[in-house]
C-alpha cells in the first residue's frame, strides 16, 4: 500500500502510521455528547473515508487521506492543518 | 536419453557432475535437475504424498507436482525443491523424499494397498476414538508419516536479502507477449522491469520448434532480450517469480540466485523483491493440465508441452517409445517433435472426433487412454478406440488436457476468474488489479502470433496510460497454430485416476466429497486437500472443480474456483525475513556512555530500542542485588552518575509556545518562570495519562520538554498532531533534540562537589532551576532536578562530548566514594521516593489515580480535560496509587501480584488492585512496592494480601503512602 | 578546568569497503534546524537568500560552497555548514542539531542498489536526481537521504543508531558487491 504525501509524493505505507477517522475536535473543555462522539463513535462506512495518517518516517506531516474501504483505493491526501510557516 | 545435436538451451561440452540419492551422474550446463535426471534415464524420482506411489517428472516448470527433492545438508538443507527449476551445477547433491529406507523400496508403500480405506476424509472418520489415543498414538504416528521433505533442524544461515525496485511498467513473464509489451513500453521511454521466472527470456519459445520473424523463436527472443537489456530504461530480472499483487501497484517477487553467483562469498541465495509499478502487464503464459484416467500417475506419464520442452530445449528424449494423448492440436505438434527427434511414437490418441492427422503415426481419433501399466514406471498404455481397447507398449505417455491461462496474479486482490466456454478455461476479469493488463496466453491468446500481437497492444496501451508517446512498432510474423479444444477432464473407468498428484487426490475423492455434501469448491479443497501444498493445485484445480461440478450437477462457472492467494510459487520464509535478525530485527540505540558501561562490565537492559546499563558490578560482587544495593547506598550517601540521555527531549519555540504547552500539559506551563523547571503531566484525549516529565523554560518563548524514554516517539507524534491539527492557530514549533544532547544525572549529597570539578562555575540553582553553564569551551545545560530524592542535577552537553563528560563525571564521583549507577538502582531510588514510571502510568490510569488531580488546571482547555472530567474517572472507588510493604512472614512482593482484602478469597471477583513495581530497599532494609488499590488513599495503614497465582506467592502487606525516603523532600530541595 | 574531547558518531565504525563501494563518515559542520514561524517564510527565505541560499522546496537542497539548506520536513529545513545569520531566530525556531546526526557518504558503482536494499524510496534518477533529498525509512530507522552525485549519497541517521546504520549498510554493500562481480549484474 502506498499513500500520496502532498509534500513527499507517493510513499510506502511503512513510513506512515494511522490514527483513525479525521474528525473535528469539539470546542471547549467540558464533557458532553459531542466529546463522546469524538472519542468513541465511528461510522465505519463501506466506501469513502477520511482518515488521519502521520508521515512520521517522512516529512512529519499529519495527513487527511481519502480512501475507499470497498475498492481499497486511495483517492488522495492533503495536509491536515496549515503548516506554521504557511 | 540425451539426443545428439539437440537441445538449444544446453551446452553439451560443459559436463557437470551431480548426485541423486548418492548415485553420481553427469549433466550439462543449461540443464535443470529434472532434465539431467531424464537424460540419465532416471524415471522414478519421488514417492507420492499419501500412497507413496512411485512418481516421475511430469512438467518442465514451477508447477511441478511430483519431482520434489531435498538439496544440501545441515544449515543449507532445503526440502521440497522442484527438480524442474533447480539449475544444474557442479557438485549438486539432491535426495529423494518421503521414502524409507530407499526410493526403490519404501515401507510406507503399503499405504497404496490400503488405498480403499484411506480416501478423502479418512482422518476425520478414523482417528476419532478412543479419544485418549489422539495425543499419544494417532497424532505422533500421523506426524511421522505426514509431509514430504524435512528440515535439518539446524538454523538456516541468513543467506537471503530483500530489496525494493521501482518502475513505470512491470512486465510479468518474458515470453513472446511479455517481450513485446516490454519492447513497446521501452521504446516509448518507460522505465520497464521485465521479470521472468526462468533463467532466460523466451517463455514457450525456448521449448517449441517454431519460428518468429523468420528465425528460430528462441533466437528471436534472445536477440530482443539482448537489445532490451542494453537500454538504460529496461531491467530484465531473470530467475524472478512475481509472487503476489498488492495494493497501490506493489508486487512481491522472489529471485533465485544463479548457482554460480550463490556460491560466491557474500552473495545472496535469493532476494525477495518489492516492486512498485505504475502499470503492469501480466504475461505469465498458461499451464498445461492433465487428464484424469486410471493410473495416470506412473513415472513416464508427462505433460505434452513438457515433453516438447525436454526435446527441444534440453535435447532429452523422455522415453524410447511414446504415446501421445490429447484433446487439442498440441498433441499433434508433440508427435511431430518426438518424431523429429527420432523417438518412436506408438500412437496418437486424440479425444476429438472428426479430426485429421497429417503425420505418419498410428492415429486414433475419438479415442481415450483408459489406463496404464508398469512396475516402477510406465510400460504400456491402454487405449479405448472405436474398435475396442488396444494395449500399446510405451515408456512415455505425453498428455495434454488443454491449457489454463495463468491468471493467479490478476486474482490476488479478490477478483474471481471468468469461465470461457470456447477455450474451456478461466480468464481474468478486466480491471481485477488496478493498473494491470493481462496479455498473451495468460489472456487466452494461445498462438505465438496472437501472443505477440496481444503483448504489443498491452505495451502500447501502457505507454499511452503513462503519458508517453506511442512508438511505431509492429509484431514480427509468427506461427498462428490452432487450438481447437474438446473439454476432457476425466476418462470414465475403473481404477484410481489422479487429479492432484502432489496431494494424492483422485477423481473418487472429489466425488466422495460431493456425496458427503462438501459441494462448495472451498469445502472440497479442505476435505480432500486438493490444491494445497507447494504447487497449490496449479495443474489440478480446474480439472478437480470440473469433476466436482459434474458430481454435484452444476456447471463449471457455477462451481467457481477457490481463492487465489499469494505467493504464486513457494517463497522461502528466510527470504521474506532476510536481514531481520539482531540489528536488522530492531535497530540498537546506544548512548554516548555505552562503551564505557560495557568496559565496566554492565549487563545491558533494553528500554525500547535503547540499551541501558542494568548495574555496574565491582570486584567481589557476585549477584546483581549486591551491585544494586551498593549503587543505591552510593547515591543516598555520596553521589552517583547515570546516563539519562535516552529520555526524549523536545525543543518548543515560538510566540505561542507557552499557550501551546498549556494545551498539551494538564498544568499551566505559561506560568513557569524563565530559568525554572516544572513537572508536567500529559493526558491522552480520552483523559488517561499519556506521559510525564519535566518542562524547562529556557527563555520567554523557548521551552524544553522532557519525555520518558518509552514515550518519546509517541509524545513527538502527539505534539506534531497538536501543533498541526488541533491548534494550528498557535504559532509554536516543536522539534526533537533527543539525539543532540547527552545528559547525565548526578545525584547524591556530593553532587555539587562532582560538578564543581567539572563545570567552569557551578551556578547557585534553586531546586527545579535551570542554567546555562560551560565546561571549558563547551556550552552545557544544567537542570537541578531529581528522580532519586537526593540533591540532584542533570547536565546536558552536545552529544559529541557525551563520552568524555561521562568519563569525567564518573571518575570524579568514584574519587568521592560514589560512581556510576544503572537502571536497577535508578528503579529502587525512585520507588523509595514513590516516583512513577510507565509501570504505573501504563495507559489505563488517570491523573486522579496517581493522586495528581491537583495538577489538572481548571482554568484552560487541554488535551484530555473534557474526558478526564467524567465522573467515572474521578471516583473514590477507583484503584489509586499506594505504597505497600510486607508485614507478615513472607517478605517478598512481586510486581504483577493482585491485591485482595485480608480475609477475602483470592479470586477475580474479590480483586482490589495490583502491584506495579516492587524492589528491595537497601535504605529501609525491606521490600517495598507500588501498586493500585481500590480506594487506596483511604486505606493507608490497612492490611491487604498480595497474591501471585502464577509464581505461588502470597504476602500480607500494609498499605502505605507511596514514598518512604525523605517524604518531605528536604534532601532534594536542600 | 575540564577539557572535553569530542567523538564523532561513527568513530570506529567506518570506513567500510566492499568491491567498488565505499562508506565513510563526513563532518558537515554546524547543523541547525530552521522552522519558520507563521507568516515568516518569506522573511526566512530572504535572510537565507542573503547568505546565497534560500528556502528549499520539498526534497530540495540549495547549496552555496560548503553551506547548504536541506529540506527536512513540513516547514522544516536544516541549515548546514554555516551558522545561522543574526536575526534569523526572530523569524524561525532554530535548534542546534550538529551532534544529533550520524552522516555517512556511500559512493561507488551500485550505491543506489545498496540503498534499494534498505529503503522503500524510489531512487531512479528521473525521480531522485543529484541534489534531491528525502526523509524516509532506512532499515527501520529514520533517515535523510541526499543524492550528491550520480553514484554517491549522503545518509543521515540518528547518532544513537550509528552502529546499526553502518551494520545494515555494510551488509547490503557486501551483497551488492558480490552480485556485481557476476555477469548477472548487481541490480
* Contact criterion met (CB < 8 Å) for A15 and C137: yes
Q: Indicate the average pLDDT of chain B.
A: 95
pLDDT of residue B62: 94
In the listed set C48, C64, C96, which residue is the last one of a domain according to the structure?
Answer: C96
Q: How far is B33 from chain A (nearest CA, A)?
A: 38
The residue written with cell numbers 564521583 in the block is B813
Residue numbers of the domain that contains A59: 1-23+47-86
| A75 domain-assigned | yes
* Three cell numbers, residue C84: 545561522
Give the residue from B309, B288, B284 showing the smallest Cα distance to B174: B284
d(CA B843, CA B358): 81
Q: How far is B245 from chain A (nearest CA, A)?
A: 11
What number does CATH give the domain B1-156?
Answer: 3.10.20.440
| In B283-442, alpha helices (H) | 304-312, 330-340
Nearest CA in chain C to A63: C74
Give the residue from B517, B494, B509, B518 showing the smallest Cα distance to B544: B509
* Contact criterion met (CB < 8 Å) for B799 and C37: no
Same domain (yes/no): C122, C72? no
For residue B817, CA distances in Å to B452, B624, B746, B868 come to 85, 19, 13, 47
* pLDDT tens digit sequence for B836-871: 999 999 999 999 999 998 888 888 899 999 999 998
d(CA B925, CA B418): 78
Q: Which chains touch C (3 or more CB pairs under 8 A)?
A: A, B
Q: Which chains touch B (3 or more CB pairs under 8 A)?
A: A, C
Using the Cβ of A21 and the Cβ atoms of chain B, whether some distance falls under 8 Å is answered with no
Q: Are B952 and B890 contacting, i.e. CB atoms less than 8 angstroms apart?
A: no
Q: Are C6 and B777 contacting, i.e. CB atoms less than 8 angstroms apart?
A: no
C-beta atoms surrounding B185 within 10 Å: 34
DSSP state of B915: E
Q: Are B203 and B185 contacting, i.e. CB atoms less than 8 angstroms apart?
A: no
Of the candidates A8, A15, A84, the beta carbon closest to that of C58 is on A8
Q: Are B455 and B593 contacting, i.e. CB atoms less than 8 angstroms apart?
A: no
* Contact criterion met (CB < 8 Å) for A15 and C74: no
Of the candidates A7, A12, A15, the beta carbon closest to that of C74 is on A7
| C9 domain-assigned | no
Which residues, 6 or more positions from B214, have their beta carbon under 8 angstroms from its beta carbon? B476, B477
d(CA B367, CA B384): 6
Q: Are B965 and B923 contacting, i.e. CB atoms less than 8 angstroms apart?
A: yes
Same domain (yes/no): C113, C83? no
Nearest CA in chain C to B236: C187
The residue written with cell numbers 524510489 in the block is C122
pLDDT at A83 over 50: no
Give the mutation candidate from C74, C75, C88 for the A interface (greatest A CB count, under 10 A). Answer: C74
* pLDDT tens digit sequence for A41-68: 999 899 999 999 999 999 999 999 999 9
d(CA B545, CA B563): 13
**Helix count and strand count (H, E) for chain B:** 25, 50
Residue numbers of the domain that contains C121: 17-27+100-180
Strand order in the sheet with A73-79: A17-21, A48-54, A62-68, A73-79
Percentage of chain A lying above the pLDDT 90 cut: 83
Polymer length in residues for chain B = 974
- What was the ipTM of the complex prediction? 0.96
Q: How far is B242 from chain A (nearest CA, A)?
A: 17
Same domain (yes/no): C69, C151? no
Q: How far is A71 from chain C (nearest CA, A)?
A: 24
Give the mutation candidate from A13, A21, A22, A25 for the B interface (greatest B CB count, under 10 A). Answer: A25
Q: What are phi and psi of B492, to 5 degrees?
A: -65, 155
Nearest CA in chain B to C120: B164
How confident is the model over B493-509, as a mean pLDDT? Answer: 94
pLDDT at A84 over 50: no
Q: Does domain B488-554 have CATH number 3.90.980?
A: no
Of the candidates B261, B655, B778, the beta carbon closest to that of C4 is on B778
Using left for φ > 0, alpha for ψ between -120 and 50, and beta otherwise, residue B467 falls in left
Q: Does domain B589-646+740-830 have CATH number 3.30.1360.120?
A: yes
* Contact criterion met (CB < 8 Å) for A84 and B721: no
* pLDDT tens digit sequence for C39-94: 999 999 999 999 999 999 999 999 999 999 999 999 999 999 999 999 999 999 99
Residues 85-144 on C with a CB inside 8 Å of B are 92-101, 113, 116-117, 119-124, 126-127, 139-141
* pLDDT tens digit sequence for B786-796: 999 999 999 99
Same domain (yes/no): C144, C105? yes
Number of domains in chain A: 1
Q: How far is A39 from chain B (nearest CA, A)?
A: 7
Q: So where are chain B's domains?
A: 1-156, 161-286+405-465, 290-401, 488-554, 589-646+740-830, 649-736, 871-973
pLDDT of residue A86: 35
For residue C50, CA distances in Å to C43, C45, C55, C64, C87 come to 11, 9, 11, 11, 12
How confident is the model over B147-157, as a mean pLDDT? Answer: 84
Rg over CA atoms, chain B: 38
Number of domains in chain C: 2
Using the Cβ of A86 and the Cβ atoms of chain B, whether some distance falls under 8 Å is answered with no
* Contact criterion met (CB < 8 Å) for C75 and A85: yes
For residue B267, CA distances in Å to B178, B457, B583 come to 29, 38, 20
CA dihedral B691, B696, B702, B707 (to 10 degrees): -20
Collect all residues of chain B within an 8 Å Cβ-Cβ radius of residue A74. Answer: 247-248
What number does CATH give the domain B290-401?
Answer: 3.50.50.60
pLDDT of residue B131: 74
d(CA B102, CA B121): 29
- More confident position, B464 or B482: B464
* Three cell numbers, residue C173: 554493500
Nearest CA in chain B to C27: B800
Q: Label residue A82 by pLDDT band (50, 70, 90).
A: low
| A29 domain-assigned | no
What number does CATH give the domain B161-286+405-465?
Answer: 3.50.50.60
Same domain (yes/no): C147, C59? no
Task: Assign residue C121 the CATH number of its domain.
Answer: 3.30.1360.120
* pLDDT tens digit sequence for B893-941: 999 999 999 999 999 999 999 999 999 999 999 999 999 999 999 999 9
What number does CATH give the domain B649-736?
Answer: 3.30.70.1400
For chain C, how far is it from start to end, CA to CA, in angstroms? Answer: 55
Peptide bond into B16 cis (omega under 30): no
The least confident of A69-83, B130-144, B707-721, C150-164 is: B130-144
How confident is the model over B414-438, as a mean pLDDT? Answer: 95
pLDDT of residue B436: 97
Percentage of chain C lying above the pLDDT 90 cut: 94
Collect all residues of chain A within an 8 Å Cβ-Cβ radius of residue C142. Answer: 56-57
What number does CATH give the domain B871-973?
Answer: 2.40.30.110
User: Chains A and C: how many Cβ contacts under 8 Å?
Assistant: 58
Task: Assign residue A70 the CATH number of its domain.
Answer: 3.30.2270.10
* Contact criterion met (CB < 8 Å) for A85 and C41: yes
Own/partner pairs for B672-676, CB < 8 Å, 24+ apart? Answer: B672/B697, B673/B697, B674/B698, B674/B699, B674/B700, B675/B769, B675/B770, B675/B771, B676/B766, B676/B768, B676/B769, B676/B770
How confident is the model over B803-819, as a mean pLDDT? Answer: 97
pLDDT of residue C181: 73
Collect all residues of chain B within an 8 Å Cβ-Cβ radius of residue C33. Answer: 735
Peptide bond into C15 cis (omega under 30): yes
- pTM score: 0.94
Of the candidates C75, C121, C136, the beta carbon closest to that of A83 is on C75
Element containing residue B273 per DSSP (H, E):
strand B270-282
SS3 B230: coil
| A55 domain-assigned | yes
How confident is the model over C163-176, as a mean pLDDT? Answer: 97
pLDDT of residue C187: 47
Using the Cβ of B869 and the Cβ atoms of chain A, whether some distance falls under 8 Å is answered with yes
pLDDT of residue B137: 78
How confident is the model over A33-45, as a mean pLDDT? Answer: 94
Q: DSSP strand E in B542-688: where?
A: 589-590, 604-607, 610-613, 640-643, 649-653, 677-683
Using the Cβ of C182 and the Cβ atoms of chain B, whether some distance falls under 8 Å is answered with yes
DSSP state of A33: H
Collect all residues of chain C within an 8 Å Cβ-Cβ radius of residue A83. Answer: 74-75
| C187 domain-assigned | no
Common-topology check for domains B161-286+405-465 and B290-401:
yes
C-beta atoms surrounding C124 within 10 Å: 16
* Contact criterion met (CB < 8 Å) for C36 and A84: yes
| A34 domain-assigned | no
Give the residue from B440, B543, B34 showing the smallest Cα distance to B204: B440
Element containing residue B462 per DSSP (H, E):
helix B448-465
How confident is the model over B195-220, as a mean pLDDT? Answer: 97
Q: What are phi and psi of B523, to 5 degrees?
A: -70, -45
**Helix count and strand count (H, E) for chain A:** 1, 6
User: Chains B and C: how many Cβ contacts under 8 Å?
Assistant: 168
* Contact criterion met (CB < 8 Å) for C160 and B610: yes
Give the mutation candidate from C13, C93, C169 for the B interface (greatest B CB count, under 10 A). Answer: C93
Amino acid at each position: 500500500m502506498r499513500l500520496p504525501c502532498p509534500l513527499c509524493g507517493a510513499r510506502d505505507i511503512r513510513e506512515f502510521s494511522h490514527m483513525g477517522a479525521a474528525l473535528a475536535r469539539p470546542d471547549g473543555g467540558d464533557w458532553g455528547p459531542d466529546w463522546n462522539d469524538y472519542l468513541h463513535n465511528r461510522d465505519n462506512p463501506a466506501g469513502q473515508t477520511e482518515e488521519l495518517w502521520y508521515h512520521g518516517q517522512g516529512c512529519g506531516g499529519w495527513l487527511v487521506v481519502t480512501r475507499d474501504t470497498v475498492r481499497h483505493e486511495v483517492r488522495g491526501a492533503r495536509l491536515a492543518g496549515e503548516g506554521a510557516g504557511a | 536419453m540425451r539426443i545428439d545435436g539437440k537441445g538449444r538451451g544446453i551446452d553439451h561440452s560443459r559436463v557437470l557432475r551431480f548426485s541423486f540419492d548418492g548415485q553420481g551422474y553427469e549433466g550439462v550446463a543449461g540443464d535443470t535437475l529434472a532434465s539431467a535426471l531424464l537424460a540419465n534415464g532416471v524415471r522414478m524420482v519421488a514417492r507420492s504424498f499419501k500412497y507413496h506411489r512411485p512418481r516421475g517428472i511430469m512438467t518442465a516448470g514451477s508447477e511441478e507436482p511430483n519431482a520434489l527433492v531435498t538439496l544440501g545438508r545441515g544449515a543449507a538443507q532445503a526440502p521440497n525443491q522442484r527438480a524442474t527449476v533447480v539449475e544444474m551445477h557442479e557438485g549438486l547433491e539432491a535426495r529423494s523424499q518421503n521414502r524409507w529406507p530407499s526410493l526403490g523400496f519404501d515401507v510406507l508403500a503399503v499405504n497404496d494397498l490400503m488405498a480403499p480405506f484411506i480416501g478423502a476424509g479418512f482422518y476425520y472418520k478414523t482417528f476419532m476414538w478412543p479419544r485418549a489415543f489422539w495425543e499419544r498414538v494417532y497424532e505422533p504416528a500421523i506426524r511421522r508419516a505426514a509431509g514430504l521433505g524435512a528440515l535439518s533442524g539446524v538454523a538456516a544461515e541468513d543467506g537471503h536479502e530483500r530489496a525494493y525496485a521501482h518502475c513505470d511498467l512491470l512486465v510479468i513473464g518474458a515470453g513472446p507477449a511479455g517481450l513485446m509489451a516490454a519492447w513497446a513500453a521501452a521504446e516509448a521511454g518507460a522505465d520497464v522491469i521485465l521479470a521472468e521466472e526462468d533463467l532466460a527470456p523466451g517463455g514457450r519459445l525456448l521449448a517449441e520448434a517454431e519460428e518468429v520473424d523468420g528465425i528460430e523463436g528462441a533466437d528471436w527472443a534472445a536477440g530482443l532480450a539482448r537489445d532490451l537489456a542494453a537500454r538504460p530504461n529496461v531491467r530484465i530480472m531473470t530467475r524472478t517469480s512475481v509472487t503476489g499483487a498488492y495494493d497501490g501497484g506493489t508486487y512481491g517477487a522472489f529471485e533465485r540466485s544463479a548457482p554460480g553467483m550463490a556460491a560466491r562469498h557474500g552473495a545472496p541465495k535469493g532476494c525477495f523483491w518489492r516492486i512498485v509499478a505504475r502499470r503492469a502487464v501480466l504475461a505469465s503464459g498458461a499451464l498445461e493440465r492433465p487428464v484424469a484416467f486410471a493410473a495416470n500417475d506412473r513415472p513416464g506419464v508427462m505433460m505434452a508441452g513438457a515433453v516438447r520442452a525436454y526435446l527441444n530445449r534440453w535435447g532429452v528424449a523422455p522415453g524410447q517409445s511414446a504415446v501421445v494423448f490429447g484433446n487439442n492440436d498440441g498433441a499433434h505438434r508433440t508427435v511431430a517433435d518426438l518424431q523429429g527427434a527420432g523417438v518412436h511414437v506408438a500412437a496418437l490418441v486424440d479425444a476429438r472426433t472428426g479430426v485429421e492427422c497429417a503425420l505418419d503415426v498410428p492415429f486414433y481419433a475419438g479415442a481415450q487412454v483408459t489406463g496404464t501399466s508398469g512396475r516402477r514406471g510406465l510400460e504400456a498404455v491402454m487405449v479405448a478406440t472405436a474398435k475396442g481397447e488396444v494395449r500399446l507398449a510405451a515408456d512415455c505417455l505425453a498428455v495434454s488436457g488443454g491449457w489454463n491461462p495463468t491468471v493467479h496474479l490478476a486474482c490476488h486482490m479478490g477478483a474471481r476468474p471468468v469461465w470461457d466456454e470456447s477455450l474451456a478455461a478461466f480468464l481474468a476479469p478486466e480491471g481485477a488489479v488496478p493498473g494491470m493488463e493481462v496479455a498473451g496466453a495468460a489472456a487466452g491468446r494461445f498462438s505465438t502470433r496472437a501472443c505477440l500481437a496481444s503483448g504489443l497492444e498491452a505495451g502500447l496501451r501502457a505507454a499511452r496510460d503513462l503519458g508517453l508517446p506511442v512508438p511505431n512498432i509492429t509484431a514480427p510474423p509468427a506461427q498462428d497454430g490452432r487450438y481447437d479444444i474438446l473439454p476432457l477432464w476425466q476418462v470414465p473407468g475403473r481404477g484410481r485416476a489422479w487429479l492432484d498428484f502432489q496431494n494424492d487426490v483422485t477423481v473418487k475423492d472429489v466425488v466422495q466429497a460431493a456425496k458427503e455434501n462438501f459441494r462448495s469448491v472451498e469445502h472440497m479443497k479442505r476435505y480432500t486437500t486438493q490444491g494445497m501444498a507447494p504447487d497449490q493445485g496449479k495443474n489440478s484445480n480446474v480439472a478437480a472443480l470440473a469433476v466436482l461440478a459434474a458430481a454435484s450437477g452444476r456447471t463449471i462457472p457455477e462451481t467457481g474456483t477457490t481463492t487465489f492467494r499469494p505467493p504464486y510459487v513457494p517463497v522461502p520464509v528466510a527470504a521474506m525475513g532476510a536481514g531481520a535478525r539482531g540489528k536488522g530485527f530492531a535497530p540498537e540505540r546506544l548512548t554516548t556512555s555505552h562503551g564505557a558501561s560495557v568496559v565496566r562490565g554492565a549487563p545491558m537492559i533494553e528500554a525500547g530500542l535503547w540499551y541501558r546499563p542494568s548495574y555496574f558490578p565491582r570486584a567481589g560482587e557476585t549477584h546483581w542485588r549486591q551491585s544494586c544495593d551498593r549503587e543505591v547506598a552510593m547515591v543516598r550517601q555520596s553521589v552517583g552518575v547515570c546516563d539519562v540521555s535516552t529520555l526524549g527531549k523536545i525543543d518548543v519555540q515560538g510566540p505561542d509556545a507557552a499557550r501551546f504547552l498549556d494545551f498539551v500539559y494538564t498544568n499551566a506551563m505559561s506560568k513557569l518562570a524563565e530559568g525554572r523547571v516544572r513537572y508536567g503531566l500529559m493526558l491522552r484525549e480520552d483523559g488517561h495519562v499519556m506521559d510525564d516529565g519535566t518542562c524547562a523554560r529556557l527563555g520567554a518563548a523557548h521551552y524544553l520538554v522532557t519525555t520518558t524514554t518509552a514515550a518519546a516517539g509517541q509524545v513527538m507524534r502527539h505534539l506534531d498532531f497538536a501543533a498541526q491539527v488541533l491548534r494550528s492557530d498557535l504559532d509554536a514549533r516543536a522539534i526533537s533534540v533527543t539525539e543532540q544532547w547527552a545528559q547525565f544525572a548526578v545525584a547524591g549529597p556530593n553532587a555539587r562537589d562532582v560538578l564543581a570539578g567539572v563545570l567552569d562555575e557551578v551556578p547557585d540553582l534553586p531546586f527545579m532551576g535551570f542554567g546555562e553553564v560551560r565546561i571549558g569551551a563547551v556550552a552545557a545545560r544544567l537542570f537541578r532536578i531529581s528522580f532519586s530524592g537526593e540533591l540532584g542535577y542533570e547536565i546536558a552537553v552536545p552529544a559529541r562530548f557525551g563520552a568524555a563528560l561521562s568519563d569525567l563525571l564518573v571518575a570524579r564521583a568514584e574519587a568521592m566514594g560514589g560512581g556510576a549507577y544503572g537502571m536497577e538502582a535508578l528503579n529502587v531510588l525512585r520507588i523509595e521516593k514513590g516516583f512513577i514510571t510507565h509501570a504505573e502510568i501504563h495507559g489505563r490510569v488517570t491523573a486522579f489515580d496517581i493522586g495528581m488531580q491537583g495538577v489538572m488546571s481548571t482554568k484552560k482547555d487541554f488535551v484530555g480535560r473534557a474526558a478526564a472530567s467524567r465522573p467515572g474517572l474521578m471516583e473514590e472507588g477507583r484503584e489509586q496509587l499506594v505504597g505497600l510493604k510486607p508485614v507478615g512472614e513472607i517478605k517478598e512482593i512481586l510486581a504483577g501480584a493482585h491485591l485482595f482484602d485480608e480475609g477475602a478469597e483470592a479470586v477475580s471477583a474479590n480483586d482490589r488492585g495490583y502491584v506495579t513495581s516492587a524492589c528491595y530497599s537497601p535504605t529501609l532494609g525491606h521490600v517495598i512496592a507500588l501498586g493500585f488499590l481500590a480506594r487506596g488513599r483511604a486505606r493507608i495503614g490497612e492490611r491487604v494480601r498480595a497474591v501471585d497465582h502464577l509464581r505461588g506467592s502470597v504476602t500480607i502487606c500494609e498499605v502505605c503512602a507511596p514514598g518512604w525516603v525523605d517524604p518531605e523532600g528536604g534532601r532534594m530541595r536542600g | 578546568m575540564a577539557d572535553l574531547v569530542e567523538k564523532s558518531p561513527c568513530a570506529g565504525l567506518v570506513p567500510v569497503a566492499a568491491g567498488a563501494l565505499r562508506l565513510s563518515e563526513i563532518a558537515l559542520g554546524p547543523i541547525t534546524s530552521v522552522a519558520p514561524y507563521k507568516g515568516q517564510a518569506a522573511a526566512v527565505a530572504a535572510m537565507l537568500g542573503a547568505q546565497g541560499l534560500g528556502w528549499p522546496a520539498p526534497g530540495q537542497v540549495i547549496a552555496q560552497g560548503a553551506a547548504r539548506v536541506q529540506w527536512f520536513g513540513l516547514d522544516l529545513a536544516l541549515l548546514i555548514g554555516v551558522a545561522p545569520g543574526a536575526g534569523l531566530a526572530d523569524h524561525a525556531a532554530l535548534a542546534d542539531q550538529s551532534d544529533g546526526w550520524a552522516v555517512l557518504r556511500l559512493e561507488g558503482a551500485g550505491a543506489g542498489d545498496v540503498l534499494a536494499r534498505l529503503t522503500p524510496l524510489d531512487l531512479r534518477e528521473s525521480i531522485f536526481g543529484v541534489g534531491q533529498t528525502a526523509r524516509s525509512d532506512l532499515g527501520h530507522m529514520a533517515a535523510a537521504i541526499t543524492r550528491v552525485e550520480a553514484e554517491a549519497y549522503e545518509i543521515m541517521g540518528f547518532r544513537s543508531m550509528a552502529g546499526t546504520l553502518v551494520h545494515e549498510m555494510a551488509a547490503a554493500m557486501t551483497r551488492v558487491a558480490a552480485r556485481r562481480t557476476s555477469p548477472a549484474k548487481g541490480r
